[in-house]
Amino acid sequence: MTTVFEKDPDWLDWYTGPSRPRFRLPEGAVDAHCHVFGPGAQFPFAPERKYTPCDASKDQLFELRDHLGFARNVVVQATCHGADNSALLDALRASGGLARGVATLRSGVPDAQLRELHEAGVRGVRFNFVKRLVDAAPRQELWDVVERITPYGWHVVVYFEAADLAELRDFLLSVPVPLVVDHMGRPDVAKDPYGAEFEEFLDFMRARPDIWCKVTCPERLSAAGPPALDGQRHAYRDVVPFARRVVEEFAERVLWGTDWPHPNLADHMPDDGLLVDFIPHIAPTPRLQHKLLVDNPMRLYWPDAG
């Protein structure tokens, strides 16, 4: 029997008809953070989910990829699918090698399943510490998962909020595989980009040379919001000094992604074309742009390609 899912009443759907970006992405650019949702009728949402989204299929994701000018995607398992990675696997298999994945795993995942995920293109597992999205997993469970993925050469993607870094820092630094931090550890951009909170995050990045950072989600972090109706395309300006600091100091280990279909936004849904136009403000030179969009994600997700 097919379950019919009703999206949450206040759910904001992803933006149809995104503009064509003015910024021309370098050839081979990777959208290194995006998701698929269902479709729920084919890939049911998890019983333990904290939100029920609208559908956002692999075909719609690939259409957006082509429209914006990306060559590849890294699809990150969304919490609404729990640890059932079927929709992710389906997207990876349909991509013809143009997508890699980041899965969610529980301890005790069978070896056959790990092999299947690896063969389909999964290269990382996500540990989510954002309390509104998941119930906290016991540390032992996370350790078990790390042990299981180490032989595959995977990394751990971590999602946490700035206020939680102090408590998580020692645990994260003891994880013996590369780490990739989502959305710059969610700084409060109303604060000083040179203040104590963001310094704490940069200091965490400095602690190991294999900690990567996604300079993503200006639309989620911004208090200033999208551009006013004055024809300007320089959106989310208050996030720029934060992201630019990270890009300039850690040019070899930054990644960028759309975060399509933008789960849980409360006040507006971004035009993904505008998000692409944000890139040259945080990576102002062609050299930095090429590292951010091509060299770095290719090294992490397609190390064997050409």
Q: Which residues are catalytic?
A: 259
Nearer to ligand 0GY, 6 or 304 (CB): 6
What is the x/- site pattern for ligand 0GY, positions 178-197, by CB under 6 A? ----x---------------
d(CA 227, CA 103): 34
Question: What SS3 state is found at 153?
Answer: coil
Q: Is 95 in the site for ligand 0GY (CB under 6 A)?
A: no
The region that residue 175 occupies, defined by phi over 0 for left and psi between -120 and 50 for alpha, beta otherwise, is: beta
What is the x/- site pattern for ligand 0GY, positions 131-160, by CB under 6 A? --x-------------------------x-
Nearer to ligand 0GY, 10 or 170 (CB): 10
d(CA 18, CA 44): 27
Nearer to ligand 0GY, 79 or 222 (CB): 79
51-80 residues in contact with ligand 0GY (CB under 6 A) are 78-80
Residue 169: CB partners within 8 Å, gap ≥ 6? 204
**Cis amide leading into 110 (omega within 30):** no
What is the x/- site pattern for ligand 0GY, positions 249-288, by CB under 6 A? ----------x---xx------------------------
8-37 residues in contact with ligand 0GY (CB under 6 A) are 35
Give start and end residues of each alpha helix (H) in the chain.
58-68, 86-94, 111-120, 139-149, 165-173, 196-206, 218-221, 240-249, 272-282, 286-290, 296-301
Q: List interacting residues with ligand 0GY (CB under 6 A).
A: 35, 78-80, 133, 159, 182, 259, 263-264
